[in-house]
A and B are shown apart, each in its own frame.
Chain A
Amino acid sequence: MARRILGTLALILIVTGLYWGLVEAPPDARQGETQRIMYLHIPSILVAYLSFFIVFVGSCLYLWKGERRDDNLAHSAAEIGVLFTALTIVEGSIWGKPTWGVWWTWDARLTLTAILLLIFTGYLLLRSLIEDQRRAAVSGAILGIIGFLDIPLIHMSVYWWRTLHQPPSILRPDKAPWDNIDPAMLWPLGINFVAFLLLFFYLLSLRIHLGEVEEQARRDRLHDTA
């Protein structure tokens, strides 16, 4: 029931965000209409960061306590994080073509984000290749913790290297978002961010449920064969 309410709320906010982002928000003075891709791009990467933070926390808890619940949380969040990271790269690429003139460039932030996607795609592959559940969970937890360390690098890359990618608009230490973005653009961004956040928790709850059903099925099989 709670999941259904979450899904409905997410859907309402997604539709509101689409309307606000595509109709109500004004075009950017320099980028024109393509700036509207930012209403997807920024929420996508923030949700991806959140996913991998949950992988990090779940992995640490699993290595500490060894509970399957924490491993399921980390595994579920990793799958959703991979989806949102891939979408972030695709959105950025589509935005990059009319703005920078190229679909892709080996810029520090872009490259580190591609590495993040590779690490967590590897995480999912690793888990699917190891049959022993415990070994898969331990290997996954170690890779999940290491993989998360890429996120501070991605965030700081625009300060540490001379990059084509602009500095952050939201998560910056010197300015609050409302001092940096016009309210006409900040509102649709905020609505889309909340919509993505609700969508993320809806997908996460579904994926966790799948993990629980699969775990129960595995236990049933073990019980039946014993």
Chain B
Amino acid sequence: MGHWGFVFLAYGIVWCSILIYTMLLKRRIQRATAARGKTHPAASEADGHEA
């Protein structure tokens, strides 16, 4: 692997990991909001708007 190969490997891993973490975080918020919505619909709507 050439020097650029190492550079792209590092940049690829970092930005893919951060993107995946951000998406997972947003999905966790959506799930938590939805779960809350089953018992308290009005409160869940407010949570969803904040995210």
Contacts and interface: CB of A to CB of B under 8 A. Distances in A.
Interface in B1-51: 3-4, 6-7, 9-11, 13-15, 17-18, 21-22, 25-26, 28-29, 32-33, 35-36, 39-40, 43, 47, 50-51
A220 B43 contact: yes
**Interface size range of chain A in the complex:** 20 to 34
B3 A33 contact: yes
Interface SS of chain A: helix
A53 interface: no
A88 B28 CA distance: 25
A213 B7 contact: no
Contacts of B47: 209, 213, 216
A97 interface: yes
Given A37-B6, A95-B6, A87 B14 contact: yes
Given A32-B3, A220-B43, A213 B32 contact: yes
B28 A210 contact: yes
A9 to B, nearest CB: 15
Contacts of A199: 18
A142 B39 CA distance: 35
Interface string A162-201: 0000000000000000000000000000000000000100
A92 to B, nearest CB: 9
B11 A210 contact: no
Contacts of A216: 36, 43, 47
Contact of B22 (A41, A203, A213): A203
A43 to B, nearest CB: 10
Contacts of A90: 10, 13-14
A91 to B, nearest CB: 5
Nearest to A36: B7
B6 A94 contact: yes
B22 to A, nearest CB: 7
Contact of A37 (B10, B32, B36, B40): B10
A220 B18 contact: no
B3 to A, nearest CB: 4
Interface of A: 14, 18, 22, 32-34, 36-37, 40-41, 44, 83, 86-87, 90-91, 94-95, 97-98, 199, 203, 206-207, 209-210, 213-214, 216-217, 220-221, 224
Given A34-B6, A91-B10, 7 more contacts: A40-B14, A90-B13, A94-B6, A95-B10, A98-B3, A210-B32, A221-B39
The 9 closest A-B pairs by CB, nearest first: A33-B3, A213-B32, A217-B36, A94-B10, A37-B10, A32-B3, A34-B3, A210-B29, A91-B10
